[in-house]
Amino acid sequence: MQTPYGEAIVYLGDVHSIPVCFMPRHGFNHSIPPHKINYRANIFALKKIGVKKVLATAAVGSLDLNIKPGTFFIPDQFIDFTKNRVHSFFNGDRNGVVHVDMTEPYCPELRALYLKVLNDLSYTGKADGTYICTEGPRFETPAEIKMFQQWGGSVIGMTNVPEVVLAREMGLCYAVICIVTNYAAGLTGNVLSHQEVLDMMGEKKKQIQHILEKMVVALPLGKKCKNCSIPEHVKPEE
């Protein structure tokens, strides 16, 4: 799809006759690094297609030895430590200036449903905690990890911001389920590798598919939570 912010790739399909869209934010060959993802084009495309609810996934590192690799994690807050990304549709140009509330960054209803599905499937999961988002694509230093722990961070990743912010600006119900792939730098003394992230994601692939399938079937499609509603004047120009 062509958008005012560039091109976005969206795949259309269905799950048990329920229409769905799939958007591989890194590309199918993982060719787009996190700091070069066109987040605005992606979210705008979903909005224009008519998407109402966004079920995001993300690979993260753990900042807490009690949150083990292989755990599914559902954050309720984030801290943005990115540096060079465009974070808003409302930059004073075509859409003016609008300040959008982020008291609850993630849709509480979708988060609760994620947790219910995890429990129903007997998968190891943890709800509530803070996602730290860094610029990437490098991993963080042990010194940075210590700082993020002091800030109250639970997990660390590179993709969720500004995606979650843009979804809120578009009035989309949005929540993310994270797969903890490893402990962050300095927690165990081991050297981090990209391969361990890929290995854990591969190991969890079937479980992720089961979670998303059950989420789609259980979604209240005709209902929009008040937390994700925005006034008409906030809509970015199409």
Percentage above 90 pLDDT, the chain: 74
Euclidean distance between CA atoms 175 and 224, whole angstroms: 13
Q: Domain 52-221, what fold? A: Rossmann fold (3.40.50)
Euclidean distance between CA atoms 1 and 9, whole angstroms: 6
Length of the chain: 238
Q: How far is CA 35 from CA 1, 43, 138, in A?
A: 21, 16, 10
pLDDT digits (tens, 9 = 90+) for 151-170: 999 999 999 999 999 999 99
Residue 237 clears pLDDT 60, i.e. is over it: no
pLDDT, residue 229, reads 65
Amino acid at 176: V
pLDDT, residue 189, reads 79
Residue 128's contacts (CB-CB under 8 Å, 6 or more residues apart) are 74, 75, 76
Higher pLDDT, 236 or 44: 44
pLDDT, residue 93, reads 73
Q: How far is CA 38 from CA 26, 47, 49, 85, 163, in A?
A: 10, 15, 17, 9, 9
The confidence band for 12, taking pLDDT boundaries of 50, 70 and 90, is very high
pLDDT, residue 82, reads 97
Domain spans of the chain, in order of start? 52-221
Residue 35 clears pLDDT 80, i.e. is over it: yes
pLDDT, residue 139, reads 93
Higher pLDDT, 131 or 226: 131
pLDDT, residue 230, reads 61
List phi, psi (to 5°) of 90: -110, 75
pLDDT digits (tens, 9 = 90+) for 72-110: 999 999 999 999 999 999 877 766 777 888 999 999 999
pLDDT digits (tens, 9 = 90+) for 173-222: 999 999 999 999 999 877 888 788 878 888 889 999 999 999 999 997 66
pLDDT digits (tens, 9 = 90+) for 60-81: 999 999 999 999 999 999 999 9
Residue 39 clears pLDDT 70, i.e. is over it: yes
